Amino acid sequence: MPNMDNNTRFSRYHQALQQYIAREGDALVPATHIETLGGEDVNLGAWVGYMRQRKKNDKLAQDRIDALNATRGWTWGPLKPGPATKSLRNDDITKMRQTGLSLSQIADQYNLSRQRVHQIIKRAAAAAS
């Protein structure tokens, strides 16, 4: 996506989210999903995760919170039940990787980025040695 100001970028990604919802019927965007909007690829999955993280850390502007709250099907998460603690989640992620699942498959299951899944697995391996 070409350089643009933050308001234009938010509007563009929000438009991509609405396109996704219209097609899929929900706002449960996989973490690695790329949406094509007007012939351009939009890394929608990463953006959705980023918006949720910004809100969780009280760093998302109220007008953006309001826009997302007004979006049909939007939820702030968690999207699906998971382990009760991060420690249990991280153990599950490590086990899933050991069974041969890809970083993308694991990332989608936990609504995390592939990079975050990789970090979790790397930390577990370092702790085990």
- Mean pLDDT over 87-106 rounds to 90
Look up the pTM and report it.
0.61
> pLDDT per residue over 18-42, tens digit each?
999 999 888 888 888 899 999 999 9
pLDDT for position 127: 87
DSSP string, 33-48: --EEETTEEE-HHHHH
> In this predicted model, which residue has the larger pLDDT, 29 or 79?
29
